């Protein structure tokens, strides 16, 4: 688990194709790896990866086909900047929100403009994730814990203060860029719990009007 508070930025130092998977080497001298052991988790752009090699300058991690398909890690070039966070401990201040490091899908930067001293960003989420994104709720973008300021269909806005622009990848975001999205874990599990016994039915979808009608919900 993580908090969504970025501890350092690193860069992709190397990437090696190993069959269908990829070994990433991440330069992370500023992260402070003295307390990290092989087998520990590190979030890279919001993706929970297992460190398989560590030295003072960085770490290596394997990225599976599933992760390459669902996240933006496969799009990163050597030299690309990445947001980094070590796994939380019982004494870690929970400055953001509980983040699992399990990316739900890819979003797209739609717009960015200055708003006072801050920046306002608009993102488009996949349609299937829109129902989990609520105004003043929490969302994780490339590993950064943020508050949703507004929602319009599958699009949502966040406000980025100057500090966050300086210490994360947000400063380099441009329209059309892909980002990793993780919705609030409570919203994700709540929907599954509401399905009850139907969750065990093959092909069971999410909460639909038909599902609500079968379970006694009346729109009037």
Side-chain-side CA neighbours of residue 99 (13 Å):
36
With a cut of 80, say whether residue 152 has pLDDT above it: yes
Tell me the residue ranges of DSSP E strands in 28-177: 41-44, 47-55, 58-63, 81-86, 105-115, 118-124, 138-141, 144-147, 150-152, 155-160
Which tokens is 19 given? 């069959």
Average pLDDT over residues 142-171: 97
| pLDDT exceeds 80 at position 196 | no
Q: What percentage of the chain exceeds 90 in pLDDT? A: 75
Distance CA 35, CA 22 (A): 25
Closest-CA residue to 103 (of 49, 60, 164): 49
pLDDT tens for each residue of 5-59? 999 999 999 999 998 899 999 999 999 999 999 999 999 999 999 999 999 899 9
**pLDDT 10s digits, 105-138:** 999 999 999 999 999 999 999 999 999 999 999 9
Contact 25, 52 (CB under 8 A): no
Residue 151: which of 162, 139, 163 has the closest Cα? 139
- Regarding pTM above 0.75, the answer is yes
Tell whether the model's pLDDT for residue 156 goes beyond 90: yes
Residue 208: its pLDDT value, please?
A: 63
pLDDT band at 207 (very low <50, low <70, confident <90, very high): low
Kindly tell me the sign of the dihedral angle through the C-alpha atoms of 7, 81, 29, 16.
Answer: positive
Average pLDDT over residues 152-167: 97
Which residues in 146-169 are b (16+ Cβ under 10 Å) and which e? bebeebeebbbbbbbeeebbebbb
Q: What is the pLDDT of residue 205?
A: 63
Report residue 125 as tokens.
């989420």
Higher pLDDT: 201 or 72? It is 72
Q: What is the pLDDT of residue 186?
A: 84
Domains and CATH numbers, the chain: 8-86 (2.40.30.20), 105-187 (2.40.30.20), 195-220 (no CATH)
Query: Residue 213 — φ and ψ, nearest 5°?
Result: -65, -40
């Amino acid at each position: 688990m993580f908090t969504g508070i970025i501890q350092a930025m690193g860069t992709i130092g190397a990437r090696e194709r190993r069959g269908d998977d990829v070994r990433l080497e991440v330069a992370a001298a500023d992260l402070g790896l003295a307390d990290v052991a092989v087998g520990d988790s590190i979030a890279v752009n919001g993706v929970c990866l297992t460190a398989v090699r560590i030295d003072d300058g960085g770490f290596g991690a394997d990225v599976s086909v599933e992760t390459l398909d669902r996240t933006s890690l496969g799009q990163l070039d050597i030299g690309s900047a990445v947001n980094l966070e070590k796994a939380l401990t019982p004494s870690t201040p929970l400055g953001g929100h509980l983040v699992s490091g399990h990316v739900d899908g890819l979003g797209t930067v739609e717009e960015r403009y200055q708003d006072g001293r801050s920046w306002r960003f608009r993102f488009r989420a996949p349609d299937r994730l829109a129902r989990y994104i609520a105004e003043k709720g929490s969302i994780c973008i490339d590993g950064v814990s943020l508050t949703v300021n507004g929602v319009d269909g599958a699009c949502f806005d966040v406000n980025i203060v100057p500090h966050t622009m300086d210490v994360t990848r947000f400063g380099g975001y441009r329209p059309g860029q892909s980002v990793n999205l993780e919705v609030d874990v409570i919203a994700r599990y709540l929907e599954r719990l509401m399905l009850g016994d139907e969750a065990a039915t093959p092909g069971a979808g999410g909460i639909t009007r038909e599902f609500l009608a079968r379970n006694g919900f009346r729109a009037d």
